[in-house]
Amino acid sequence: MDLDALITTAQALVAPGKGILAADESGGTIKKRFDSIKVESTEDNRRAYRELLFTTDGAEEYISGVILFDETIRQSSSNGTPFPKLLADRGIISGIKVDSGAHPLAFAGEDEAITEGLDGLRERLTEYKELGARFAKWRGTYTITDVLPSEYAIRANAHALARYAALCQEAGIVPIVEPEVFMEGSHSIERAFVVTSAVLDAVYDELFRQRVHLEGTLLKPNMVLAGYDAAEQATDEQVAHLSLACFKRCVPAAVPGIVFLSGGQTDEQATSRLNEMNKSGPHPWQLSFSYGRALQAPALKAWLGDPANVGAGQKAFAHRARLNGAARSGSYTPKMEGEAA
3-state class (DSSP) for residue 297: helix
Kindly name the residue from 18, 97, 137, 220 that is annotated as catalytic.
Answer: 220
> Is 38 considered catalytic here?
no
Distance CA(274)–CA(288), nearest Å, equals: 7
Kindly name the residue from 25, 112, 178, 206 that is annotated as catalytic.
Answer: 178
In 3D space, the residue among 249, 175, 171 whose CA is nearest the CA of residue 207 turns out to be 175
- Name 310's Cβ contacts closer than 8 Å, sequence gap at least 6: 52, 303
| Strand intervals (E) in the chain | 19-23, 63-68, 93-97, 102-104, 113-115, 135-142, 174-181, 218-219, 257-260, 286-291
> Is 61 considered catalytic here?
no
3-state class (DSSP) for residue 141: strand
- Name 191's Cβ contacts closer than 8 Å, sequence gap at least 6: 144, 146
* HSE value, Cβ hemisphere, 13 Å, CA-based, for 264: 13
143-164: buried (b, 16+ CB within 10 Å) or exposed (e) per residue? bbeeebbbeebbebbbbbbbbb
- Name 151's Cβ contacts closer than 8 Å, sequence gap at least 6: none
Active-site positions read: 178, 220
